[in-house]
Amino acid sequence: DSGVTQTPKHLITATGQRVTLRCSPRSGDLSVYWYQQSLDQGLQFLIQYYNGEERAKGNILERFSAQQFPDLHSELNLSSLELGDSALYFCASSGYRGGDGYTFGSGTRLTVV
């Protein structure tokens, strides 16, 4: 157990739908990062939150959004889902600036049918 908890582990949904992925960071970590892993694109950084505030944005689509709550857990919202959104979504957490590396959760596998 890495200390980063992601739920659900698997999600199957239809095109056009909306889903929410949840992440609880490791105890004491203030930064949360979301990554998308697909076979053709590899690991793509989506977005980072630090202590409730958005800190950095990567290749995140406008249909996707995220937030970090006062208890530091984070949610990634994916809407108007397309077949191409099928992927593994990882959450990671770190201390300030993440210079010592990140701790990853086990991921949520999203399948859009």
**Residues forming beta bridges with residue 11, ordered by sequence position:** 110
Query: Which CB, 17 or 103, lies closer to other proteins?
Result: 103
- The smaller minimum CB distance to other proteins, of residues 65 and 106, is found at 106
Looking at the Cβ atoms of 64 and 104, the one nearer to other proteins is 104
Question: Which chain residues interact with other proteins by CB under 8 A?
Answer: 2, 4, 33, 42-43, 45, 48, 55-56, 58, 90, 92, 97-107
> What is the closest distance, in whole angstroms, from the C-beta atom of residue 96 to other proteins in the complex?
8
Min CB(21)–other proteins separation in Å: 14
Beta bridge pairs of residue 48: 33, 56
Burial 9-42 (b: 16+ CB within 10 A, else e): eebebeeeeebebebbbbeebbbbbbbbeeeeee
SS3 at position 94: strand
